[in-house]
Structure formats: C-alpha cells, structure tokens
Chain A
Amino acid sequence: MEHIISVLVENKSGVLARVAGLFSARGYNIESLSVAPTPDSSVSMITVVTSGDEDVIEQIMKQLNKVIEVLRVVDLTEEDHVDRETALIKVQAKQAQRDEAIRIAQIFRANIVDATPETYTLEVSGDAEKIQAVIKLLTPIGIKEMVRTGRIAIARESS
C-alpha cells in the first residue's frame, strides 16, 4: 500500500543523501520525493511517497527516525490529511485540438501558463487521482512533455 511520509530534518548538507541512500540501500521504493524549506530556516521538510506492507513501512519509519538529523517522522496516510501535486503538461494543440485542450483545462481548473501556435502548457494541481485523470484525457491529444512536483501533504487540523 502507498504511504505518504513527511520527514522533518535539520537543514544541513548531506541529509537528503542520507535519507535517499537509506531507501536505496535497503531496497525500499521511492515513488516521489520533495524537499523544501519551512518557516524555520534551520529545518526542511522532506515528503516521501513510498509503498510496502505494514512491516516494511514500520522499518522505514524506524530507519528514518534513526538518522541523527531527522527530527520527526509522520506517516500521513495513518491520519486525516490533504495531499497535492502540481504538474506542468505541454500538449500538442493545433486547430481542433486547441479547443479540446482548453475544455479539458477548464474541467480540471488548470491554468494555461504558456501558449504557442502549436502547443499549450497546462498547470494543474490536485490529488493523485485528479492528476491521473488529466493525464489520461490529454494523452489522446498528445502530451509533448510533462514535469511533476511529486506529492506533498499536510495533516488536517482536528477541530
């Protein structure tokens, strides 16, 4: 099963390599990985999407906790959370395809952030299902190029 794990780390050089190295050395999957600063400049947040059975996830959590610079590890899949990913998708858009691309963009509330006579570049954000759906609909039109941020997630505040 897929798990989104957020790892709060000290903002020091080599930390990302230690975390990523841990996954490769022990044969764990990384489906996506994102790293970004937090309001506290001394720490960064790593979000890893991984998969495995319960035992594997338990080991991953423990192994991450063991890294000296890791301050906190949370398996967001275990709790109520919001997750999002952004994709930039460059599609073929000539004549008839142009209208179709715009329609799809509207349905998914995607922004067109670049346009040429032959292409549109769409910016779309959403959960994993939404990104998959957009890709599925745009594929017949012709996706020239695509980049994705990888997923990020945050726990919902309990009221």
Chain B
Amino acid sequence: MKLTGSQIFVESLKREGVKTIFGIPGGVVLNLFDVLHQQKDVEVILTRHEQGAVHMAEGYAKATGKAGVALVTSGPGMTNIVTGLADAMMDSVPLVAFTGQVPTNLIGNDAFQEADNIGISRPCTKHNVLVRDVADLAATIKEAFYIANTGRPGPVLVDIPKDVSTESTEFRYPDKVNLRGYHPTVSGNRSQIKQAASEIMKAKKPVIYVGGGAVFSGAASEVREFADLTQIPVTMTVMGLSSFPGTHPLSMGMLGMHGTYCANMAMHEADLLIAVGARFDDRVTGKLSEFSPRARVIHIDIDPTSIKKNVYAHIPIVGDVKVVLRELVSVLSSMDGNPATVKAQRRPWHKQVNAWADKHPLAYRQEGKKETKPQYVIDRAYELTKHKAIVVTDVGQHQMWAAQYFKGGVQRTFLTSGGLGTMGFGFPAAIGAQKAYPNKTVLCITSEGSFQMNLQELAVAAIHKLPVKIILLNNRFHGMVRQWQDLFYEGRYASSDLGTIPDFVKLAEAYGILGLHSKGPDDVEAVLKEGLKHKGPVLMNFVIDRFENCYPMIPAGGAHHEMVLEDPPQLKSVRKSPRKKGENADAVLPA
C-alpha cells in the first residue's frame, strides 16, 4: 500500500512502540502533525517552547531507558532544541529528534525558516540524517531508533523536508537495520576480565567508581552483586547516583567537586579503581596530575573513546556494563576464597573508610537558625518520599544538595543534567518523567534561577494534569555563581543577584496550579506534606538562607584531598562589607 511520508512517519513511530512525542508545529511539519492528529496511538504533547519539548523527551528517556521523541519545525524550531541535543549527547540520553526542513528544491536558498539542521546539529548528535527521498524514510527512522538506543546511547536527528512528508511510496518497515560501520561491543574481552579479577583479589584499597553507564545499561543489581561479593566500597558520580543504594554500608556517596569527604579521600588513597560506566569527567577527577596517584585502573565502558581519554587505564574492558559485570562476577566467584575471608581481608580498608566517613559526614545545622537551610528541605523531602519518588533536578547548588542528600538506589530515579549542566533542564524533564510514569511521585528539585529558564511549561503540567511536585529552593541568587564569587572573587556578586521577582505562588496560580509558600524552617514540613498530598501539580516556594554554600568543595583545579569543608573565615568580612544601594535585593523581599 502506498503511504505519504507523513503517514510513513507515524506508522514508523508506532512500529517503534512510541506512545508519546513532545513538540510544536510549524510551516514545514504541518503534514506530520495533521496525520498525528488523526490517530490515537501516538499522543502529542504540545509544549510551549521547543527547548521544553526536547528536555521532556530527555526526561521521558532517562526515566524509562527508551528513546524519547521530539518533533519540531525548521529554522528556529530546530535551533531551539540544540541545547537539549547537546545535553543528551553529554549524558548519553537516547533521543530521536525529528525536525522539519524546507522543501528539497529550496534547500540552500536561504528560504523562510531555513537552517542547516544537519550542519548545526552535527557536533551534538550521535548521528544525523537529512531524508532526501521518501523511499528512504522508513529505514532511516528504524536506524535512528536503533542508533539512539544501542551502544552508548545518544541523540539522533532526522531532518524531513516538507516535500518528503507529502510524497507517497510503498510502505515497508524493515525488520532489522543494516549499518556497515556500527557494531557496538557488548561482551568484554575474556582475558582482560580475568586479569581484572586477579587485580581485584590482590588489591588492598580498592574503590568501585560508578557512573551513568551503569544506570543506562540497567546494571544496578549487577553493581550491587559485584560490591557485595568483593566487599569493595562504592562511590558514584552524579549520573551514577541511582545505580547503588546510598544507604548500603559500602556506599560512600557521591565523589568529585561536591562529593563526600570519605569518597574523595578513598579515591585519593586507593590502590585500585574499578571505573564502571564512568568517564573521568573533570568535575570528578579534579587536578588530573594528582588524581588517585597510587591507583591502578580497571575501566569498563561501552564507549572505547571514554577509555584512556583523561586517565590511563591499566586494564581497559570495552563492553556493556551489565554484561561485563556479570562476566566479572562469574570469574570472581570461581576463584579461591570465600566471602568470610574476603571480608576479613578488607577489614583495614573498611576501617579507614569508615573513619573518614565519621570524621566529616555531610552535615548542616537547622536548629536555632531563623532561615531555612536548603539541605533541611531536601532532607525532609527525602524522608517523606524515601525510595518512592523519581527526583529530577535542575543545575546549581540545589542539584548538588539533592545529590548529597537523596540516597537513591532504585534505577533511573535521579535524573539530572550532569555533563552539560543545563539550567532549565529540570522542570520539563520532570514533566517528561511524569508523563512516562503518571502514577509515581515525581519531584522537581529546582531553584528560582533554573526554574525561570523554562517556566513556560507550567502550562503543560496544568493542561495535562501532570502532578509534578516542584520544590523550588529560592535564595534569590544564581547560588553556585554567588558561591564562587564568595570564594574566589572577594564577594563581588556580579550579575548573580536575581531579586525577589516573581511571586512564585501567584505565578503558579496564574497557570491554574497550586502554589505554596514557605517562609521559614517552621513551615517546611507542613508545606512539603501539603504539596505531596495534593493531587495535581504544585509549586512549593521555599525561601532559604541565601548565603548557604555547598560543601565539601574541591576548588576547580584542586586535588581530591584538597577539599574545602566549610566557609573560610574571611567570608564573614567579605559579606559584612557595605554594599551599594540596591545591590542586596533582600530589601524588597515580601513578608
């Protein structure tokens, strides 16, 4: 049967099992939207900005592990999703973005709403294709989903010119893809795995360092089995947080710039690192020349380019984390030594690790303080939702506090923009996650700075009754910027003071959703309880201590053992210095 390009597009989405797509129509994609409008299998969520659409697709993908889908028009529609593509590229999020393109005979003529979609998206996609012939459309879509979902996942862009969407051809959806140059390695090299196992048995101070790869490959139970078997302490990157329970006795929490004292000290002293789906990002390693100076490195990753990029790997193992860990566990299990002897062998190292954990645990003091500590809000939210919520964060101080205090463990329940650090990611991503799991509690932990970058999507939450619980930590600052200005710029708050506008409760009400306001520590618990109990979406505005800084902190370019653990004494004098009139927007804070 002959179908038009638009019909082929929709049929192909159905074959891929796509239930929801996020997007905004425009001139060259009207035919695609028209066909979507006439069927029920694929739901279209109309967002208020294309950036919202692409982050929703990311949130959907991060929560489900399957490719999210966005559909936008040519020109500005496409350029508005670039941030989301770059974000997905950095964080290995499976995503298929469909963009409209001007008719093939106009390409290159600077037509209305024309942009070089392929050229612009090339560095921030895993793959991209301009479909020039409707006969290629079905196979291209099949390949796009395959490439996005397999290997190291990532964003794929398919550019569809208007005439391709109207022309007709025989529809045949291919059963399998035929890509000559794409064959991701899944199983690990057997002899490398054996070598790794013998290193693990020999090591005195080993650390398992888990990244996002463990989450994407669905390896939480394998990571746990590996850690239990070998009794090796575990630390996670911000992307790896939901791959291992923070409450497990072997968990040291997050490592890196705002990681725990314990995790960073263990990294510094380790004699063996087992990197599992992690890529030695600079926020994790700190100063490379002093990174884990005594450690040998076993690096398991599906992407060969991640290996030996920043840190030398003595034993590289290319493969899917889940598969490789299973193979490794089976080799280790067959080796000599029973669990009791392994435990005894690790005792001195455990003692040392526990001593670090006891010396400088994550801590804050709320008692006796007039102003709400942000950590207190997050801590309470964690206690009230324990392991039942999907947590989606924006970017900044609140993100790091959430990473520190939400002790996850259930896979794909801590969604954040780790690599690109995209402010404005959190709220639309939370909507996407909520759309995927309408009955789960989805918390969006954000701040007034990040939230205002995509707040227009309140309309989507309201219209589709997606009950996202927005926990907005409001310090009237770009908090992380202010923290750096405190520590490294003598307290000159250049363009970081956001003031007290808008009134977030009224803003929520304007969109027809519940807005709640917390003035101080006494009403935090009540606001959280009311917000969580509410059936629909809710925006909870917590006015917090605007000068709270996030610690521990490794200053940029510092090494793991050079953590700053609290406000340095000179900070007091910095903050007491007289400010110019109007510089401190506290003056206009509503009661």
Show the binding face of A for B, using Cβ within 8 Å.
Answer: 9-10, 13-14, 17-18, 21, 25, 55, 58-59, 62-63, 65-71
Contacts and interface: CB of A to CB of B under 8 A. Distances in A.
Contacts of B308: 55, 58-59
A77 B308 CA distance: 21
Interface string B292-326: 00000000000111011100000000000000000
Nearest to B179: A68
Nearest to A42: B180
B182 interface: yes
A14 B116 CA distance: 12
B122 A21 contact: yes
Interface string B88-131: 00000000000000000000000000000011001100111010
A70 B181 contact: yes
Contacts of B400: none
Nearest to B156: A68
Contacts of A71: 180-181
A58 B308 CA distance: 9
Interface string B172-197: 00000001111000000000000000
B305 A66 contact: yes
Given A21-B123, A25-B123, A69-B181, A14 B305 contact: no
Contacts of B127: 68
Contacts of A70: 181
Contacts of B309: 59
Nearest to A14: B118
B147 interface: yes
A106 to B, nearest CB: 46
A18 B304 contact: no
A112 to B, nearest CB: 41
A68 B305 contact: no
A58 B305 CA distance: 9
A66 B304 contact: yes
A85 B369 CA distance: 75
A13 B132 CA distance: 11
A17 to B, nearest CB: 6
A17 B119 contact: yes
Nearest to A72: B181
Contact of B305 (A9, A62, A69): A62
A13 B180 contact: no
Contact of A18 (B122, B147, B303): B122
B305 A17 contact: no
Nearest to B126: A68
B353 to A, nearest CB: 32
Contacts of B305: 59, 62-63, 66
Determine chain A's interface SS by DSSP, over half rule. Answer: helix
Nearest to B182: A68
Nearest to A58: B308
Contacts of A65: 304
Which of A21, A68, A70 has most chain B Cβ within 10 Å? A68
B68 to A, nearest CB: 20
A23 to B, nearest CB: 12
5 contacts: A13-B130, A21-B123, A59-B309, A62-B305, A68-B126
A135 to B, nearest CB: 36
A134 to B, nearest CB: 38
Contacts of A13: 130
Nearest to B307: A62
Interface in B137-187: 147, 179-182
A17 B126 CA distance: 14
A14 B122 CA distance: 9
Given A59-B309, A63-B305, 14 more contacts: A9-B181, A10-B181, A14-B122, A14-B128, A17-B119, A55-B308, A59-B305, A62-B305, A65-B304, A66-B304, A68-B147, A68-B182, A69-B181, A70-B181
9 tightest A-B CB contacts, nearest first: A62-B305, A71-B181, A62-B304, A68-B127, A68-B182, A70-B181, A25-B123, A63-B305, A71-B180
Contacts of B303: 66
Nearest to B304: A62
A6 B364 CA distance: 58
Contacts of A9: 181
A10 B127 CA distance: 14
A10 B181 CA distance: 8
A88 B77 CA distance: 47
B250 to A, nearest CB: 33
Contacts of B147: 68
A59 B305 CA distance: 6
Contacts of B128: 14
A68 B300 CA distance: 22
Which of A14, A59, A66, A70 has most chain B Cβ within 10 Å? A66
A18 B129 CA distance: 12
Contacts of A59: 305, 308-309
A55 B119 CA distance: 29
A66 B185 CA distance: 11
A29 B179 CA distance: 29
A10 B182 CA distance: 11
B181 A67 contact: yes
A14 B303 CA distance: 23
B205 to A, nearest CB: 27
A14 B332 CA distance: 46
A14 B129 CA distance: 9
A13 B181 CA distance: 15
A101 B305 CA distance: 50
A58 B316 CA distance: 13
A98 B123 CA distance: 51
Contacts of B119: 17
Nearest to A67: B181
Contacts of B180: 10, 71
A17 B181 contact: no
Contacts of A69: 181
Nearest to B312: A55
A103 to B, nearest CB: 49
Nearest to A18: B122
B442 to A, nearest CB: 34
Contacts of B179: 68
A58 B312 CA distance: 12
Nearest to A66: B305
